[in-house]
Amino acid sequence: MPAPAPDLLPPWSTPERQTILAEARAFATDVVLPTANAHDRDEAAMPAELLQKLAEHGYFGITVPKKYGGLGLGVFEYCMIAEELGRGWMSAASLIARAQGLATTFADPERTERSRRRSARGEWIGAAAFSEPESGSDLGSIETIAVRDGDGYLISGTKRWCGNAFEGDFILVMCRIVEPDGTRGPVETFVLEKARNSFPIGVTGSPIDKIGYNGIVSYDLELRDVRVTDADIAEPFGFSGAEGRGFRAVENGLNVARVHTAARAVGLARAAVEDSISYLQKRVQFGQPLGDFQALRFEIADMAAQVAQARAFYQQVAHLMDSGIGCEREAAMTKLLSTEMCVDVTGRALQLHGGNGYTRDFPIERYWRDARLTTIFEGTSEIQKKIISDRILPRVAR
């Protein structure tokens, strides 16, 4: 049988990008996927050796400028690598987003420089405590407060879904400033720096019993009078792709997170297609491999086309971002389409595996469980639709 045609190279492909892609693909195949297959069912944090290897490849500092020891690459390369890691284990592709200069922009330039260098080395991997039991899509309604007290603040409140809170090097807490007289001020993000495998003083947490997204433990957190100062306030997102390309950090950080999620979803869906191809070639029914049945061949063709389409879109949006073009609407569009595609494709892949798809003997069940999350976190599909429609369908004044 002739070897399958190699993937076509897109026009934005460069020799450097091809090398980065090949390295990430080899790493995902040789290290990430076997680790996921061995440890996903532990329902524990991913092994420290995997973090170490991710750090050695520089994957925690892809977008950290070279002057801080990072790879100094853009959103395009960040997403391309995330797709490859996501093909192996979505949680690994997610964990790298907890670095990349996250929470490294402080008022103190020395602290900024120190934390950026740590971020590049994979020694500043954090947790984002934004969501609360009563505030998910509507983060403007958060109730965690930082009450001014002397020359600092005392943070109190309840957070939900805080992934990596115990395992990480810091927790980035979003809360509302409140003056001693009860006046409510702006929302700020404070960094609680800490040792790995501990909670900061004043914080307690308990793991949430999830159905997937293993390898990252998500916590309910209680914060009681956690002392912080103005020096602990940090801009949540570090870089707008490569430095100096001119976006406001927060806005662009959210957009980057959406494109990164689209890339993770493409990686996960690709895993489902690749595993299905291999399964259909091996499994024989009615005296022939399943892969010879036209209906199933067309199913694979359809799924593969959807994956290729979603990849082309996220790469286009990443390229626009790296070119300094604001594309909030497109970032929401690619997140929406990729993640919905991922749910669809992984479900169809499970079906192609028949009864075996409904077991834990094949990784397809992990892809299917993890895919289900992609339309929920980083802003649900409905919230992406809200962002898109608010930008293209102005409400008529009444």
Ligand X SMILES: Cc1cc2nc3c(=O)[nH]c(=O)nc-3n(C[C@H](O)[C@H](O)[C@H](O)COP(=O)(O)OP(=O)(O)OC[C@H]3O[C@@H](n4cnc5c(N)ncnc54)[C@H](O)[C@@H]3O)c2cc1C
Q: How far apart are alpha carbons 252 and 240 in whole angstroms?
A: 6
* Residue 313: C-alpha distances to residues 82, 316, 320 (Å): 15, 5, 11
The DSSP symbol for 3 reads P
For 355-389, give one letter per residue: b (16+ CB within 10 A) or e.
eebeeeebbbbbbbbbbbbbbebbbbbebbeebbe
| Strand ranges for 263-319 from DSSP E | 284-285, 288-289
Q: How far apart are alpha carbons 30 and 21 in whole angstroms?
A: 14
CB of residue 336 to ligand X, shortest distance in Å: 11
CB of residue 9 to ligand X, shortest distance in Å: 35
Residue with tokens 């069912």: 41
Q: Which is nearer to ligand X, 125 or 290 (CB)?
A: 125
User: Cα-atom radius of gyration of the chain, to the nearest Å?
Assistant: 22
Q: How many residues contact ligand X, by CB under 6 A?
A: 20
CB of residue 58 to ligand X, shortest distance in Å: 23
Contact, 238 vs 275, CB < 8 A?
no
Contact, 276 vs 353, CB < 8 A?
yes
Q: Which is nearer to ligand X, 162 or 307 (CB)?
A: 162
Q: Which of 49, 243, 378, 382 is catalytic?
A: 378
Q: Which is nearer to ligand X, 141 or 323 (CB)?
A: 141
Stretch that binds ligand X, among 49-57, 100-108, 130-138, 250-258 (CB under 6 A): 130-138
Stretch that binds ligand X, among 124-132, 238-246, 305-313, 318-326 (CB under 6 A): 124-132
For the question of residue 179 being annotated catalytic, the response is no
Stretch that binds ligand X, among 125-133, 184-192, 224-232, 272-280 (CB under 6 A): 125-133
Q: Which is nearer to ligand X, 210 or 245 (CB)?
A: 210
- List all residues 6 or more positions away from 129 whose beta carbon is below 8 Å from its beta carbon: 144, 159, 162, 165, 171, 172, 173, 174, 221
User: Contact letters (x/-) for ligand X, 134-173, by CB under 6 A?
Assistant: --xx-----------------------xxx----------
CB of residue 320 to ligand X, shortest distance in Å: 25
Q: Which is nearer to ligand X, 8 or 393 (CB)?
A: 393
Q: Which is nearer to ligand X, 162 or 242 (CB)?
A: 162
Q: Which residues, in sequence order, are bridge partners of residue 222?
A: 158, 204
Q: How far apart are alpha carbons 102 and 238 in whole angstroms?
A: 5
Q: Which is nearer to ligand X, 130 or 190 (CB)?
A: 130
- Where in 351-390 is the site for ligand X (CB under 6 A)? 373, 376-377, 379-380, 382-383, 386
Q: How far apart are alpha carbons 121 and 64 in whole angstroms?
A: 10
Q: Which is nearer to ligand X, 7 or 42 (CB)?
A: 42
DSSP SS3 for 176: strand
- List all residues 6 or more positions away from 31 whose beta carbon is below 8 Å from its beta carbon: 50, 53, 88
Stretch that binds ligand X, among 64-72, 123-131, 237-245, 325-333 (CB under 6 A): 123-131
DSSP notation for 38-61: HHGGG-SBPPHHHHHHHHHTTTTS
Q: Decide: is 338 part of the binding site for ligand X (CB under 6 A).
A: no
- Where in 198-227 is the site for ligand X (CB under 6 A)? 210, 213, 218
CB of residue 117 to ligand X, shortest distance in Å: 24
User: Contact letters (x/-) for ligand X, 4-43, by CB under 6 A?
Assistant: ----------------------------------------
CB of residue 221 to ligand X, shortest distance in Å: 10
Q: How far apart are alpha carbons 315 and 281 in whole angstroms?
A: 31
Site for ligand X (CB under 6 A): which residue of 71, 75, 81, 128? Answer: 128
Site for ligand X (CB under 6 A): which residue of 130, 170, 190, 237? Answer: 130
Q: Which residue minimizes CB distance to ligand X?
A: 136
Q: Which residues, in sequence order, are bridge partners of residue 184?
A: 178
Residues near ligand X (CB under 6 A) = 128-131, 136-137, 161-163, 210, 213, 218, 373, 376-377, 379-380, 382-383, 386
Catalytic positions, written as ranges? 378
